[in-house]
Structure 1
Amino acid sequence: MEDDDVGEDEDTGVTKVRVRVPLGTRLALTSMVERHQVWAQQLKAQHRAQLKGLTAAQRDILRAEQRQALRVLRSRGSLLDKRGLLIAFGVRQELRDRGWDHSWSGVDWQEIPMGLLSGGIGNRYPECLALSLPVTLVEQLCAGCWTSSKKSIDRLRKWHADHSAIVQSRARLLEGPAAEYERLAASVITAGDVYRAAIRRGLHAVLHAPTSLPNTALAPR
């Protein structure tokens, strides 16, 4: 699974992002999504059974109700049968809990300059995931990261300016400046930090979902 869509319940534009993640994340996502795909097939079989013996008009009405019921299950995190759905669900939860799930109009946010932060992110997170996510979610996430981290970024820029000779020579930092740098760098919230937290949330939602979905979940009215 590489670039995949966000799911049939998304009607907004999407954008592509790449995220560095811990080793094994791709396998975990595949396993969890496949688990819910089995449930989705069971539900669709149930849907087909419910349509038997109905008139064409009744089938149209019931199919619309069934599609809506699926959207509700997916929005609640009860049915995350696509990788994009799983991650988008986790992002929404993460944004909500951080208080970032609102319009950021008027915020002059920009991408956090990763050059200010310590290197080695590829070593810590060796896998790279290509994701397609709703534009609104990505914009909220990036704006939240920038707004929450701007003061620390400004202080990191000043730190780099004050220690430019040491940084350029790659000399070992003294304990005081090194500790100050680590403190400032740790207070910067990057988009990768939030995406990785969101992925953990999505995986947790699938892992703790019921082992089977109730037969009455999509019963016709």
Structure 2
Amino acid sequence: MTEPIPDDAVLPVTARVPFGTKEQLKTLKPLFKAEQRRARVLSLSEPWDVRKLSGREAAERRTAWYAHRAELRADGQLLDSLDSVVMLEVRAELRERGWNHAWPPLPAEALIPGRWPGSRDGGYPEKVPVRLPAGLVLRVRSACWHTSAEAIGQLRDWRDRWPDALPTRAFRDDHEDEALTEYEELAAQVTTTGEIWRSALDRLVDATPALLGRTAAAA
């Protein structure tokens, strides 16, 4: 039996994004460096300093510090990595969609390898890997599946009816055009996890000037 993933674990995800996104994200490096320095200073202050403790006491204090650091990141008070800021933007995206709540477990069908019917995740040339809290990743996956399942089922039925229909075919009859219109309408009702990751990164790019202003104000 597969062991459940603890919510405080992290999972890797990869966002497929438009060209130029990675270059835009590089501008956040000064923020991350400044926040990393601030975290180091904080870790050496009371009550987190371990320099005068025994080995056992130091291990307990470091464990408490790591938990506190995670809380700072979750609250948006420590923005020391791409992972930490993307996490905040993913949560913001879920809140905006009204999806930031508990969802039913994912069915086995949702875990089949490969892209979902209606997926628009192809065609993005760049990849941005991040590590996010497992609980957040699972919430995104569940939200996407349970809001898309009906359309996914209808798209599978559509493919059974129109196994050869292709939007790029040069010569199509009117029935195929109508079928492809139906496909587009159904596909628009499917939200993949890739869309959520991209939306979070779009938010982050838009927020970059304000975040860099935060760095300048703290200098």
Give the TM-score normalised by the residue count of structure 2.
0.69
Q: Tell me which amino acid in the other structure corresponds to 2:129.
A: A
Shift of 1:48: 6.7
* CA 154–172 in structure 1, closer or farther in 2 if over 3 Å, else same: farther
Q: Does 1:196 align with 2:198?
A: yes
Query: Of 17, 23, 29, which residue of structure 2 is paired with 1:21?
Result: 17
1:73–1:79: 8 Å Cα contact kept in structure 2?
yes
Shift of 1:135: 1.1
Shift of 1:127: 0.6
* CA 139–155 in structure 1, closer or farther in 2 if over 3 Å, else same: same
Cα distance in 1, alignment partners of residues 42 and 133 from structure 2: 30
| Residue aligning to 2:144 | 145
Aligned residues: 198
| Residue aligning to 1:110 | 110
Cα distance in 2, alignment partners of residues 191 and 156 from structure 1: 18
* CA 40–165 in structure 1, closer or farther in 2 if over 3 Å, else same: closer
| Residue aligning to 1:86 | 85
Q: Tell me which amino acid in the other structure corresponds to 2:100.
A: D
Q: Tell me which amino acid in the other structure corresponds to 2:110.
A: Q
| Residue aligning to 1:3 | none
Shift of 1:104: 2.3
Instruction: Answer with 187-196 or 90-99: which moved more.
Output: 90-99
Shift of 1:214: 5.3
Cα distance in 2, alignment partners of residues 140 and 44 from structure 1: 31
2:34–2:215: 8 Å Cα contact kept in structure 1?
no
Cα distance in 2, alignment partners of residues 213 and 69 from structure 1: 24
Q: Counterparts in 2 of 1:157-172, with a 5 A limit?
A: 157-166=156-165, 172=171
Shift of 1:69: 8.2
Uncovered stretches (5+) of structure 2, i.e. residues with no partner: 1-6
- Per-residue CA deviation, residues 176-215 of structure 1 (Å, 9 max, x unaligned), is 1121111111221011000001122233344313244559
2:30–2:215: 8 Å Cα contact kept in structure 1?
no
Shift of 1:152: 1.0
| Residue aligning to 1:34 | 30
Cα distance in 2, alignment partners of residues 68 and 12 from structure 1: 10
Cα distance in 1, alignment partners of residues 70 and 207 from structure 2: 16
Q: Tell me which amino acid in the other structure corresponds to 2:193.
A: A
- Per-residue CA deviation, residues 150-195 of structure 1 (Å, 9 max, x unaligned), is 111111111111111435x967553211211111112210110000
Cα RMSD for the two superposed structures? 3.9
2:119–2:191: 8 Å Cα contact kept in structure 1?
no
* CA 68–207 in structure 1, closer or farther in 2 if over 3 Å, else same: farther
1:118–1:185: 8 Å Cα contact kept in structure 2?
yes
* Displacement over 6 Å in runs of 4+: 46-51, 66-70
2:35–2:79: 8 Å Cα contact kept in structure 1?
no
* CA 106–85 in structure 1, closer or farther in 2 if over 3 Å, else same: closer
Q: Tell me which amino acid in the other structure corresponds to 2:97.
A: R
